[in-house]
């Protein structure tokens, strides 16, 4: 009697993907199912090692050490408008922020100013209001969503949207996790990055629910509804491909390996 074929082991960094057509425009959506069904969650202040060249959990800077790169004029205007409304209780550097919160780099890229080697909006340990993003706190204090007050890149992380336009105008939009390579050459110098570490995969809900508001903002309610319907329908009869960070032996930084 022939033996059933042995399961083929997944490559160490394999991800499962799904794609489908947009119901309203010439666009194909591609989603990283492995990440969206994972238990990743932001652990800022709860073990996040930050993005410096060595572990720095005690600094509580998260991914705010290099300032936020703005996507467009609307992004800049929104953050500046929120900054004008921040109080001294919400923002440690309000007085210094009156001299400006945005700088322009040599290539024209606009970023948030740095104060003491981190984003001007980052309240540091010891601040009476507690460490963390002043823009995030202002949103919570006002009963708003942080995506309404923070720079685009900040509320999206670690989700990453990338649009590719074909010669015929058809758009392929990919929504995936933000990897260290997306930071450019500097990303390889990070001692730690959250989507590579099992420490950050401790959420109580899958990412597609935990970051539902962000996904709606990035893809729209109709597409998010289609995505959620698919993910819910497949759950009872299938086992998601475990995220690489949870398979053991994943490199979490230069010269280091972590397994659980």
Tokens of 36: 């969206």
Query: In this structure, is the dihedral angle defined by the CA atoms of residues 46, 51, 52 and 53, taken in order, positive or negative?
Result: positive
Helix (H, G, I), strand (E, B) or coil at 258: strand
Nearest to 76 by CA among 153, 136, 142: 153
Whether the per-residue pLDDT at 258 is higher than 50: the answer is: no
Query: In this structure, is the dihedral angle defined by the CA atoms of residues 46, 191, 124 and 74, taken in order, positive or negative?
Result: negative
Helix (H, G, I), strand (E, B) or coil at 223: helix
In the predicted model, what is the mean pLDDT of residues 11-40?
95
DSSP letter, residue 254:
T
DSSP letter, residue 182:
G
Burial class (CB in 10 A: 0-12, 13-18, 19+), 239: exposed
pLDDT per residue as tens digits for the range 52-109 = 999 999 999 999 999 999 999 999 999 999 999 999 999 999 999 999 999 999 999 9
Tokens of 236: 């009872």
Q: State pTM to two decimals.
A: 0.89
The answer to whether the beta carbons of residues 65 and 51 sit under 8 Å apart is yes
Q: How far apart are CA 118 and CA 123, in angstroms?
A: 10
The 8 Å CB, 24+ separation contacts for 77-82 are 78/148, 78/149, 79/112, 79/135, 79/149, 79/150, 79/151, 82/135, 82/138, 82/149
Cross-strand pairs, 159: 177
In the predicted model, what is the mean pLDDT of residues 198-202?
97
Percent of the chain predicted with pLDDT > 90: 85
Tell me the pLDDT band of 42, cut-offs 50, 70 and 90: very high
Nearest to 27 by CA among 167, 224, 164: 164
């Amino acid at each position: 009697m022939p033996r059933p074929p042995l399961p083929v082991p997944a490559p160490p960094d394999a991800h499962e993907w799904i794609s489908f057509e947009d119901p309203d425009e010439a666009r194909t959506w591609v989603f990283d199912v492995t990440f969206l069904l994972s238990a990743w969650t932001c652990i800022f202040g709860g073990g996040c090692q930050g993005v410096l060249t060595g572990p720095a959990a005690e600094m509580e800077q998260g991914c705010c050490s290099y300032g936020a790169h703005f996507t467009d004029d609307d992004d800049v205007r929104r953050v500046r408008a929120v900054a004008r409304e921040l109080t001294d209780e919400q923002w440690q550097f309000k007085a210094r922020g009156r001299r400006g919160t945005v700088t322009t780099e040599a290539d024209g890229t606009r970023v948030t100013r740095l104060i003491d080697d981190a984003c001007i909006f980052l309240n540091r340990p010891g601040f009476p209001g507690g460490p963390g993003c002043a823009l995030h706190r202002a949103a919570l204090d006002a009963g708003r969503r942080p995506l309404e007050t923070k720079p685009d890149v900040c509320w999206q992380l670690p989700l990453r949207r990338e649009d590719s336009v074909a010669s015929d105008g058809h758009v392929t939009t990919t929504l995936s996790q933000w990897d260290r390579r997306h930071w450019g050459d500097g990303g390889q110098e990070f001692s730690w990055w959250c989507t590579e570490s099992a420490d950050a995969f401790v959420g109580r809900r899958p990412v597609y629910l935990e970051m539902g508001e962000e996904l709606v903002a990035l893809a729209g309610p109709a597409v998010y509804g289609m995505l959620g319907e698919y993910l819910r329908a497949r759950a009872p009869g299938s086992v998601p491909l475990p995220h690489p960070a949870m398979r053991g032996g994943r490199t979490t930084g230069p010269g280091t390996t972590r397994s659980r």
